Amino acid sequence: MANGTQTGVILAVRVHVDPAVRDRFMPLMLANRDGARTAEPGCLRYDVFQDFDDPDNLLVIEEYADRAALAAHRESPHYLAWAAFAASLPDGTITRARWTGVEPFPG
């Protein structure tokens, strides 16, 4: 990068949960969050937000120290349990964007 170096990995994940599967999805989602927060030293942040007006619309913000930490997360038992269920959801239920920080911030 011209004016800075890349740091960390940020994921912004949007999920629209079908009410028919909410009771199975949410415990897996929250177990994934809790496992990442407590068992993964490379996980710097893992927050799940719920839309004010639509409780089935979620925003998940994850931050990892580096790509290796994200790769380790994707091998964890709590992620694998969530991912197995998430794979059964219809296309478009989950969308992801990946970001990296820039230090120092240019401009």
Span 69-78, average pLDDT: 97
Span of 9-13, 30-34, 81-85, 96-100 with lowest mean pLDDT: 96-100
> Average pLDDT of the chain?
90
**Neighbour order of strands in the sheet with 57-64:** 43-50, 57-64, 5-16, 94-103
Confidence of residue 101 (pLDDT cuts 50, 70, 90): confident
What is residue 104's predicted lDDT score, i.e. its pLDDT?
62
- Distances in Å between the Cα of 51 and the Cα atoms of 43, 65, 92 are 24, 27, 17
Tell me the DSSP string of 41-89: TTEEEEEEEE-SS-TTEEEEEEEESSHHHHHHHTTSHHHHHHHHHHTTS
Structure tokens at 105: 């911030």
pTM: 0.84
pLDDT digits (tens, 9 = 90+) for 26-73: 999 999 999 999 999 999 999 999 999 999 999 999 999 999 999 999
What is residue 19's predicted lDDT score, i.e. its pLDDT?
93
Q: Which domains does the chain have, with CATH numbers?
A: 5-97 (3.30.70.100)
CB 58 within 8 A of CB 15: yes
